[in-house]
Amino acid sequence: MKKTFCLALVLFYCFVSYGQVIYGVNSYTEYHPGTLPIVISVPHGGSLTPSSIPDRTCNAPTTTTDSYTILLAKQIDSSLYNKTGKHPHLIYCNLKRTKIDCNREIVEGACGNSEAITTWNELHHFIDTAEGLAQNQYPAKGFYIDLHGHGHTIQQLELGYLYTSTQLGYTDATLNTSNYTAMSSIKNLVAANVNHYTNAEMLRGAYAFGTLLANAGFPAVPSQQTPSPGTDPYFDGGYNTAGYTCHTSGNPANGVQIECNQDVRFTYAARKVFADSLASVLIKYFLIHENLNLLPCAVSTPVITAGGATTFCQGNSVTLTSSAAASYLWSTGATTQSINVTSSGNYTVTVSNGSCSATSTATTVTVNPLPTASVITAGGPTTLCPGGSVLLSGNSTGGTWSVGGGTAATKTATVSGDYFVTTTNSCGSTTSNHIIVTTSSCPLPVNITVTGISGTKATVNWTGSSCAYRYDLQYRKQGNTSWTVKSVSAPTTTKPLTGLSRSTTYEYRLQTVCNSSGSITSGYTAIQTFTTTASRPEGEAVSAIAEPRQLDIRIQPNPVANELSLNFNSDNTAILLEIVNTIGQTVFSKQLYSSDGNFDAQINIEELPGGIYVLLLRTQNEVNQKKFVKE
């Protein structure tokens, strides 16, 4: 539809005085110009049935008349004038719906009849002209109402914003998406309403058109009271609502189709009560959403006074007080002269005196949040060996670390201390949880003993530390100045000594080394001594084969499945290892060698059948044995 400020057909319309009625050909249409930003059209309320226009038969037409809608529109005009001193723009079609439907496209609405086509064009040109005049006087604030009547059983107003019943059943979040907002006949008002209400709020929020009508005693759908029609009958808006609102690109007007139930239009008394309420609702609607006062009087714009700073920390508040007036309506919904504010926002107050109202400029309140505490966690043990570290994580607030400072998200702790994060902002400070990190020194070996002392051998044993990398054992003959050093890799805590002199006192000491470079040590223990046994008595014979004796042979695991680990000490440098089964058969043999008397061997016995075996260690002078079980 082409929108124009004047009818090309009758140019004098542009100069007609407000209140003068403009008639179309044969008075089939009427235009009552107004001075409010409200345009009301009544396409189905006429009663004229000229014989020159045949009844419509094309496209299976709907021909029911919306009874009393022209009378209702005139009463709305009267009510608005009584309250504001100004008229809305009114456009009627006086032909009965059997002859023409001005809420359909022209092909369907006029069914090809020339007189009906002229009438259809006149009514739509009148609407074009009225909207142009309204937008010229009230830029971007024009509001179009296509007024109808329905015969549904449920006595409620049906407001058509071009959403189906199903769509009105969607969630607020869905209706607030750009796709659904763009479908609305009030999408421009959604984008520009002074209180920034969402699409869903404008359809069925506390200050939606339907909610205001329901609050005035006239149930409406959609509204806060009835958000959607569900499965009930419902008219969602027609051809005129789509064409004369911002639903059509380039048209700035907002608007709605109002389907009026019979209870508000069938008697003069009902029409009067409803028209008065609708006029009040329209005045309030413009004031709330457009900040446009339609009333013919002036009320001083209220001034908000803050009882303290309007920027403060969470947990505090400020009292906002309006200048004196007869009544108050804050943007929060409060109706007192003062309100207590605890959250950020832009606050306005609308004051009223009789039928007049005015809205203040917004007072901005900013509430700064309290600092948020971080939660830090340790990525490993917090008791550290010398040179060790643990990664602490979780400084999500950019707070300052208690040890070493800095504001990084993580901290590598290498020294003892109480680690936490302090977060500070303009509203104070708060701390995270505490993590205690302890760094130990390199510990001395303890519980040192010497076992298995003989004429040429002894074994030094001790209790070590989990922080040890290795242990250094020093020993020497008592009276010597130089030490022999033996290093033992952790976690081993025993060291056999061989090649010792008989009947000799030895000094020894131990230290723990806590890193691979040897730079971190415990220092040596105090010097301790042990003495080897005496030499064999002179003249004592040595048998060709010594009696079998059990050395300190250590095998593991026992029972064993696949591989047997063997460890023992001997004065010999070469020993024959044999494995014998229970019937005396030798099933395995191997020659073992050692330069320092410490023998370690790994024997693969995976192929042996399960059972009990004897491990024999043979030298020239002795045989040693140890039983084990093969799984």
Residue 138 in contact with residue 237, Cβ under 8 Å? no
In the prediction, which pLDDT does 11 show? Answer: 38
Residue tagged 């049935």 (tokens): 49
Q: Mention every residue, 6+ apart, whose C-beta is less than 8 A from residue 12.
A: none
Tens of pLDDT, residue by residue over 243-269, are 999 999 999 999 999 999 999 999 999
Q: Tell me the helix, strand and coil percentages in the chain, rounded to 5.
A: 20, 30, 50
| pLDDT of residue 614 exceeding 70 | yes
Give the CATH number for residue 104.
Answer: 3.40.630.40
324 and 341 share one domain? yes
Q: What share of the chain in percent tops pLDDT 70? A: 94
Sheet architecture: strand order including 390-393: 377-378, 390-393, 410-413
Establish if 349 belongs to a structural domain.
yes
| pLDDT of residue 110 exceeding 70 | yes
In the prediction, which pLDDT does 15 show? Answer: 45
136 and 285 share one domain? yes
Tens of pLDDT, residue by residue over 281-305, are 999 999 999 999 898 766 789 999 9
Q: 349 is in which domain, residue-wise? A: 304-368
Establish if 97 belongs to a structural domain.
yes
Rounded to two decimals, the pTM is 0.51
Establish if 357 belongs to a structural domain.
yes
Establish if 538 belongs to a structural domain.
no
430 or 536, greater pLDDT: 430
| pLDDT of residue 81 exceeding 80 | yes
Confidence class of residue 17 from pLDDT cuts 50, 70 and 90? low
| Average pLDDT across the chain, whole number | 91
Give the CATH number for residue 467.
Answer: 2.60.40.10
26 and 167 share one domain? yes
In the prediction, which pLDDT does 20 show? Answer: 85
392 and 485 share one domain? no
| Per-residue DSSP letter, 226 | S
Counting Cα atoms < 13 Å in the Cβ hemisphere of 410 gives 9
Establish if 418 belongs to a structural domain.
yes
Mean pLDDT of all residues in 495-499: 94
423 and 361 share one domain? no
111 and 226 share one domain? yes
Confidence class of residue 149 from pLDDT cuts 50, 70 and 90? very high
Give first-to-last CA distance, the chain, whole Å.
97
User: Cα Rg for the chain, rounded, in angstroms?
Assistant: 51
In the prediction, which pLDDT does 546 show? Answer: 38
Sort residue 217 into left (φ over 0), alpha (ψ -120 to 50) or beta. left
Q: What is the rounded distance in angstroms from the CA atom of residue 118 to the CA atom of residue 115?
A: 5
Comparing C-alpha atoms, which of 499, 488, 383 is closest to residue 441? 383
| pLDDT of residue 4 exceeding 60 | no
Which of 335, 368, 401 is where one domain is finished?
Answer: 368
- Compute CA distances 357 → 65, 264, 284, 576, whole Å: 39, 28, 9, 114
333 and 393 share one domain? no
Counted domains in the chain: 5
Establish if 582 belongs to a structural domain.
yes
160 or 602, greater pLDDT: 160
Which of 264, 289, 314 is where one domain is finished?
Answer: 289
559 and 515 share one domain? no
Mean pLDDT of all residues in 377-398: 93
Tens of pLDDT, residue by residue over 336-369, are 999 999 999 999 999 987 657 889 999 999 999 9
Tens of pLDDT, residue by residue over 423-467, are 999 999 999 999 999 998 899 999 999 999 998 999 999 999 999
Residue 343 in contact with residue 310, Cβ under 8 Å? no
469 and 508 share one domain? yes
Establish if 578 belongs to a structural domain.
yes
Comparing C-alpha atoms, which of 157, 146, 166 is closest to residue 242? 146
Mean pLDDT of all residues in 125-135: 96
317 and 350 share one domain? yes
The full 3-state SS of 375-437, as one line of letters, equals: CCEECCCCEECCCCCEEEECCCCCCEECCCCCCCCEEEECCCEEECEEEEECCEEEECCCEEE
Structure tokens at 526: 């105090």
259 and 308 share one domain? no
Establish if 297 belongs to a structural domain.
no
Mean pLDDT of all residues in 558-573: 86
| pLDDT of residue 141 exceeding 60 | yes
81 and 211 share one domain? yes
Q: What share of the chain in percent tops pLDDT 90? A: 77
